[in-house]
Amino acid sequence: MVVDDHPVVLRGLAAMLRDDPHLRVDGLAATSAEALALVARLRPRVVLLDLTLGNESGLDLIPLLKARAPDVRILVLSALDEGTHAVRALRAGAHGYVEKTQAASDLVAAVHRVGEGKIWVSDVTADRILSGIGRQKPGGAEGHPFDALSDRERHVVQLLGRGMSTREIANELHVAFKTVEAHYAHIKHKAGIRTGRELTRLAVLWAEGHGTR
């Protein structure tokens, strides 16, 4: 089953998947309501789901689909950056994540893999997940790159994770612009982060996990 709010994309994806003799597309849905009704009736093996469904969230739809059809496998196909959204989708119950910029052959391979009961993510996301497991603390508690931060640095991460700019963070904390940049440098050093983009990605995930968004 394919779920996407753009009719042309929806039918294009269905046609592409039907070109594979080992795949069958039984249902198309453009809204959460349509998807929930179809998944309960069709019980597909795999749902190919866009994260953005107009004003609705595909992320919120994932657990609802699994409640209607517990055995369904969910593969997210999205234009949203994988580094920011893949882990969130997996935590919500998805079994794979493919960016819309990837080749059609990758998408077909992902559908097969997820349908076989396996997980599909990019090598970069897999490395990030495995790195997180490798940082587990004794007793099974998960470590995090931000565990070593000071209270002020954690506050900066929270604000960054909410989508605030460096200037907005400086105004919020009543400090100079360069002071915030210095915080960024210290945070990246302590967390082993190399780029500002990676810092922003982790900040968004961390903020989501701590209920600050």
Query: Mean pLDDT by 10-residue block, N- to C-terminus, for the chain (213 residues)?
Result: 93 95 95 95 96 83 92 89 74 86 90 90 67 46 66 87 90 92 90 82 72 44
pLDDT value at residue 142: 47
Range(s) of the domain holding residue 115? 2-130
What is the tally of structural domains in the chain?
A: 2
108 & 156 share domain: no
Query: Would 124 be classed as within a structural domain?
Result: yes
pLDDT value at residue 135: 47
93 & 197 share domain: no
Quick: pLDDT tens for 6-57. Answer: 999 999 999 999 999 999 999 999 999 999 999 999 999 999 999 888 778 8
Alpha-carbon gap, residue 194 to 153, rounded angstroms: 17
Query: Would 32 be classed as within a structural domain?
Result: yes
Cβ atoms 32, 56 nearer than 8 A: yes
173 & 88 share domain: no
101 & 26 share domain: yes
Q: Give the number of other Cβ atoms within 10 Å of residue 197's Cβ.
A: 12
Is the pTM here over 0.75, yes or no?
Answer: no
Looking at residue 204, which CATH number applies to its domain? 1.10.10.10
184 & 90 share domain: no
114 & 38 share domain: yes
Query: Would 146 be classed as within a structural domain?
Result: no
Query: Would 136 be classed as within a structural domain?
Result: no
